[in-house]
Amino acid sequence: MALDDILTRIRRAEAAAGRAQGSVTLIAVSKVQPLDRVEAVLAEGHRVFGENYVQEAAAKWPGLRARFGPVRLHMIGPLQSNKAKVAVDLFDAIHTLDRPSLADKLARIAEAQGRCPALFVQVNTGREPQKAGVLPEEADAFVARCRGLGLPLSGLMCIPPEGESSGPHFAMLRDMAGRNGLHGLSMGMSADFEDAIAQGATHVRVGSAIFGARSYG
Ligand SMILES: *Cc1c(COP(=O)(O)O)cnc(C)c1O
Protein backbone atom coordinates (compact mmCIF):
# COMPACT_ATOMS: atom_id res chain seq x y z
CA MET A 1 0.00 0.00 0.00
CA ALA A 2 1.08 3.57 -0.67
CA LEU A 3 0.74 4.51 3.01
CA ASP A 4 3.15 1.76 4.13
CA ASP A 5 5.57 2.74 1.43
CA ILE A 6 5.59 6.40 2.52
CA LEU A 7 5.94 5.46 6.20
CA THR A 8 8.88 3.20 5.33
CA ARG A 9 10.54 5.98 3.36
CA ILE A 10 10.02 8.40 6.26
CA ARG A 11 11.61 5.98 8.77
CA ARG A 12 14.51 5.46 6.37
CA ALA A 13 15.00 9.20 5.88
CA GLU A 14 14.96 9.70 9.67
CA ALA A 15 17.66 7.05 10.05
CA ALA A 16 19.75 8.49 7.22
CA ALA A 17 19.64 11.90 8.91
CA GLY A 18 20.59 10.42 12.28
CA ARG A 19 17.22 11.37 13.69
CA ALA A 20 15.09 9.41 16.15
CA GLN A 21 12.55 6.99 14.72
CA GLY A 22 9.14 8.60 14.93
CA SER A 23 10.47 12.15 15.11
CA VAL A 24 8.63 13.00 11.89
CA THR A 25 4.83 13.12 11.77
CA LEU A 26 3.16 12.15 8.51
CA ILE A 27 0.20 14.38 7.72
CA ALA A 28 -1.89 12.60 5.09
CA VAL A 29 -3.33 15.41 2.98
CA SER A 30 -6.85 14.33 2.07
CA LYS A 31 -8.20 17.51 0.45
CA VAL A 32 -10.62 16.87 -2.43
CA GLN A 33 -9.96 13.11 -2.31
CA PRO A 34 -12.92 10.75 -2.73
CA LEU A 35 -14.22 9.47 0.62
CA ASP A 36 -13.42 5.83 -0.13
CA ARG A 37 -9.70 6.64 -0.45
CA VAL A 38 -9.74 8.47 2.88
CA GLU A 39 -11.61 5.61 4.53
CA ALA A 40 -9.04 3.14 3.20
CA VAL A 41 -6.18 5.04 4.82
CA LEU A 42 -8.15 5.30 8.08
CA ALA A 43 -8.83 1.56 7.91
CA GLU A 44 -5.07 0.99 7.68
CA GLY A 45 -4.74 2.77 11.00
CA HIS A 46 -3.47 6.22 10.04
CA ARG A 47 -4.82 8.96 12.31
CA VAL A 48 -3.20 12.26 11.24
CA PHE A 49 -4.72 14.12 8.30
CA GLY A 50 -4.42 17.51 6.63
CA GLU A 51 -7.11 19.57 4.95
CA ASN A 52 -7.00 22.85 3.00
CA TYR A 53 -10.58 24.03 3.16
CA VAL A 54 -12.52 24.59 6.39
CA GLN A 55 -15.88 23.87 4.82
CA GLU A 56 -14.78 20.63 3.22
CA ALA A 57 -13.17 19.47 6.45
CA ALA A 58 -16.23 20.41 8.51
CA ALA A 59 -18.44 18.39 6.18
CA LYS A 60 -16.18 15.34 6.18
CA TRP A 61 -14.45 14.85 9.52
CA PRO A 62 -17.10 14.90 12.26
CA GLY A 63 -18.65 11.82 10.63
CA LEU A 64 -15.32 10.09 10.08
CA ARG A 65 -14.23 10.82 13.65
CA ALA A 66 -17.51 9.34 14.90
CA ARG A 67 -16.83 6.16 12.94
CA PHE A 68 -13.06 5.78 13.30
CA GLY A 69 -12.33 7.44 16.65
CA PRO A 70 -9.90 10.24 17.42
CA VAL A 71 -8.13 11.69 14.39
CA ARG A 72 -5.65 14.57 14.57
CA LEU A 73 -6.54 17.19 11.96
CA HIS A 74 -4.15 19.79 10.59
CA MET A 75 -5.32 22.87 8.70
CA ILE A 76 -2.78 23.50 5.94
CA GLY A 77 -4.68 25.83 3.60
CA PRO A 78 -5.13 29.62 3.75
CA LEU A 79 -7.44 30.53 6.63
CA GLN A 80 -9.98 33.33 6.21
CA SER A 81 -10.65 35.20 9.44
CA ASN A 82 -14.38 34.54 9.23
CA LYS A 83 -13.67 30.77 9.32
CA ALA A 84 -11.25 30.99 12.25
CA LYS A 85 -13.78 30.01 14.91
CA VAL A 86 -14.87 26.87 13.03
CA ALA A 87 -11.21 26.04 12.41
CA VAL A 88 -10.32 26.35 16.10
CA ASP A 89 -13.16 23.97 16.96
CA LEU A 90 -12.26 21.41 14.30
CA PHE A 91 -8.47 21.34 13.99
CA ASP A 92 -5.68 20.23 16.32
CA ALA A 93 -3.14 22.37 14.47
CA ILE A 94 -3.17 25.32 12.06
CA HIS A 95 -0.13 25.65 9.78
CA THR A 96 -1.14 28.85 8.04
CA LEU A 97 -0.88 31.65 10.57
CA ASP A 98 0.29 34.32 8.14
CA ARG A 99 -0.84 37.79 9.19
CA PRO A 100 -1.33 40.01 12.24
CA SER A 101 -5.12 40.24 11.84
CA LEU A 102 -5.41 36.44 11.96
CA ALA A 103 -3.14 36.28 15.01
CA ASP A 104 -5.37 38.81 16.79
CA LYS A 105 -8.48 36.89 15.83
CA LEU A 106 -7.08 33.55 16.98
CA ALA A 107 -5.97 35.09 20.27
CA ARG A 108 -9.51 36.38 20.89
CA ILE A 109 -11.06 33.02 20.03
CA ALA A 110 -8.53 31.12 22.15
CA GLU A 111 -9.30 33.39 25.10
CA ALA A 112 -13.03 32.80 24.72
CA GLN A 113 -12.76 29.02 24.17
CA GLY A 114 -10.01 28.36 26.68
CA ARG A 115 -8.09 26.36 24.08
CA CYS A 116 -6.13 26.89 20.90
CA PRO A 117 -4.78 24.52 18.24
CA ALA A 118 -1.01 24.24 17.88
CA LEU A 119 0.11 26.99 15.50
CA PHE A 120 2.70 27.18 12.74
CA VAL A 121 3.66 30.50 11.17
CA GLN A 122 3.67 30.25 7.38
CA VAL A 123 6.70 31.89 5.79
CA ASN A 124 6.74 32.87 2.12
CA THR A 125 10.34 31.78 1.66
CA GLY A 126 10.18 32.29 -2.12
CA ARG A 127 8.70 35.78 -1.77
CA GLU A 128 5.98 34.83 -4.28
CA PRO A 129 3.36 37.59 -4.62
CA GLN A 130 0.48 35.14 -5.07
CA LYS A 131 1.46 33.02 -2.07
CA ALA A 132 0.46 33.47 1.55
CA GLY A 133 2.94 33.73 4.38
CA VAL A 134 4.99 36.39 6.09
CA LEU A 135 8.10 37.49 4.24
CA PRO A 136 11.38 36.07 5.56
CA GLU A 137 12.52 39.43 6.94
CA GLU A 138 9.22 39.85 8.80
CA ALA A 139 9.22 36.41 10.40
CA ASP A 140 11.14 37.14 13.62
CA ALA A 141 8.99 40.15 14.48
CA PHE A 142 5.79 38.25 13.65
CA VAL A 143 6.81 35.33 15.86
CA ALA A 144 7.48 37.77 18.71
CA ARG A 145 4.11 39.43 18.15
CA CYS A 146 2.30 36.06 18.28
CA ARG A 147 4.12 35.17 21.47
CA GLY A 148 3.12 38.51 22.93
CA LEU A 149 -0.50 37.55 22.30
CA GLY A 150 0.04 34.29 24.21
CA LEU A 151 -0.50 32.12 21.14
CA PRO A 152 0.87 28.55 21.33
CA LEU A 153 3.47 28.54 18.53
CA SER A 154 4.78 25.12 17.50
CA GLY A 155 6.92 26.11 14.58
CA LEU A 156 7.18 27.36 11.02
CA MET A 157 5.76 26.17 7.72
CA CYS A 158 6.69 26.81 4.09
CA ILE A 159 5.65 25.82 0.57
CA PRO A 160 8.66 26.30 -1.72
CA PRO A 161 8.03 27.71 -5.21
CA GLU A 162 7.16 25.15 -7.86
CA GLY A 163 9.91 24.33 -10.27
CA GLU A 164 12.65 25.39 -7.86
CA SER A 165 14.83 23.18 -5.75
CA SER A 166 13.24 23.09 -2.28
CA GLY A 167 16.51 22.56 -0.41
CA PRO A 168 17.44 26.23 0.11
CA HIS A 169 13.88 27.01 1.25
CA PHE A 170 13.94 24.18 3.79
CA ALA A 171 17.33 25.36 5.05
CA MET A 172 16.08 28.94 5.37
CA LEU A 173 13.05 27.79 7.38
CA ARG A 174 15.20 25.61 9.63
CA ASP A 175 17.56 28.50 10.42
CA MET A 176 14.66 30.83 11.07
CA ALA A 177 13.04 28.33 13.46
CA GLY A 178 16.36 27.75 15.22
CA ARG A 179 17.04 31.41 15.94
CA ASN A 180 13.46 31.82 17.21
CA GLY A 181 13.60 28.82 19.52
CA LEU A 182 10.92 26.95 17.62
CA HIS A 183 11.13 23.18 17.21
CA GLY A 184 8.38 22.45 14.68
CA LEU A 185 9.12 22.48 10.95
CA SER A 186 6.20 21.78 8.62
CA MET A 187 7.85 21.24 5.26
CA GLY A 188 8.03 18.63 2.54
CA MET A 189 5.31 17.25 0.26
CA SER A 190 4.99 14.20 -2.03
CA ALA A 191 7.91 15.20 -4.24
CA ASP A 192 10.42 16.29 -1.60
CA PHE A 193 9.55 14.99 1.86
CA GLU A 194 12.79 13.02 2.18
CA ASP A 195 14.87 16.17 1.50
CA ALA A 196 12.75 17.99 4.07
CA ILE A 197 13.44 15.30 6.67
CA ALA A 198 17.17 15.59 5.97
CA GLN A 199 16.81 19.31 6.75
CA GLY A 200 14.92 18.77 9.99
CA ALA A 201 11.21 18.58 9.07
CA THR A 202 9.04 17.48 12.01
CA HIS A 203 5.83 17.39 9.95
CA VAL A 204 5.64 16.35 6.30
CA ARG A 205 2.45 17.00 4.34
CA VAL A 206 1.93 14.23 1.79
CA GLY A 207 -1.15 14.00 -0.40
CA SER A 208 -0.96 12.53 -3.87
CA ALA A 209 1.79 10.01 -3.06
CA ILE A 210 -0.61 8.39 -0.57
CA PHE A 211 -4.02 8.90 -2.13
CA GLY A 212 -3.27 9.23 -5.83
CA ALA A 213 -3.74 12.29 -8.01
CA ARG A 214 -6.39 14.82 -7.01
CA SER A 215 -9.11 15.56 -9.52
CA TYR A 216 -10.72 18.94 -9.10
CA GLY A 217 -14.08 19.82 -10.55
C1 LIG B 1 -2.03 19.93 -1.27
C2 LIG B 1 -0.96 20.28 -0.32
C3 LIG B 1 0.01 19.35 0.07
C4 LIG B 1 0.11 17.95 -0.48
O5 LIG B 1 0.64 18.01 -1.76
P6 LIG B 1 1.09 16.68 -2.55
O7 LIG B 1 2.01 17.18 -3.59
O8 LIG B 1 -0.14 16.06 -3.07
O9 LIG B 1 1.78 15.81 -1.56
C10 LIG B 1 0.94 19.75 1.03
N11 LIG B 1 0.92 20.99 1.56
C12 LIG B 1 0.01 21.91 1.20
C13 LIG B 1 0.05 23.25 1.83
C14 LIG B 1 -0.95 21.59 0.25
O15 LIG B 1 -1.83 22.53 -0.12
Note the pLDDT of residue 215. 79
Instruction: Please report, for the chain, the start and end positions of each structural domain, with discontinuous segments joined by +.
Output: 2-211
CB of residue 52 inside a 6 A radius of ligand 1: yes
Among residues 63, 114, 51, the alpha carbon closest in space to that of 87 is found at 51
Asked whether 160 lines ligand 1 (CB < 6 A), one says no
Q: What is the mean pLDDT of residues 33-42?
A: 97
Measured from the Cα of 211, ligand 1's closest atom is 8
Q: Is the dihedral of CA 178, 84, 55, 46 positive or negative?
A: positive
The model's confidence at residue 214, banded by pLDDT at 50, 70 and 90, is confident
Q: Which residues contact 117 (CB under 8 A, 6 or more apart)?
A: 75, 87, 88, 91, 92, 93, 94, 152
Q: Whose CA is nearest to atom 4 of ligand 1?
A: 207
The answer to whether the beta carbons of residues 184 and 151 sit under 8 Å apart is: no
Q: Is 25 a pocket residue for ligand 1 (Cβ < 6 Å)?
A: no
pLDDT of 182 > 80? The answer is: yes
Beta bridge partners of 134: 123
The topology (CATH level 3) of 2-211 is TIM Barrel (3.20.20)
CA 126 – CA 67 distance, rounded (Å): 40
Atom of ligand 1 nearest to the CA of 31: 1
Q: Is 76 in the pocket of ligand 1 (CB under 6 A)?
A: yes
Beta bridge partners of 48: 72
The ligand 1 atom nearest the CA atom of 189: 9
- Residue 186 Cβ inside 6 Å of ligand 1? The answer reads no
Of 196, 194, 195, nearest to 185 by C-alpha is 196
What residues are paired with 119 via a beta bridge? Answer: 94, 153
131 Cβ closer than 6 Å to some ligand 1 atom: no
Q: How confident is the model at residue 217 (pLDDT cuts 50, 70, 90)?
A: low
Instruction: Establish how many alpha carbons lie within 13 A of residue 39's alpha carbon, considering only the half-sphere containing its beta carbon.
Output: 8
The pTM score is 0.97
Residue of 48, 76, 121, 124 best suited for mutating to test ligand 1, as the one with most atoms within 8 Å of CB: 76
Distance between CA atoms of residues 39 and 56, nearest Å: 15
Mean pLDDT score, 21-38: 97
Geometric angle at alpha carbon 97, from 94 and 100, rounded to 5°: 145
Mean pLDDT in residue range 95-114? 98
Q: Which of 122, 189, 211, 216 is the best mutation target for the ligand 1 pocket, counting ligand atoms within 8 Å of the beta carbon and taking the most?
A: 189
- Say if residue 216's pLDDT is above 80: no
Q: What angle do CA 87, 93, 99 make, to 5 degrees?
A: 70
Mean pLDDT in the chain?
97
State pLDDT tens for residues 42-81: 999 999 999 999 999 999 999 999 999 999 999 999 999 9
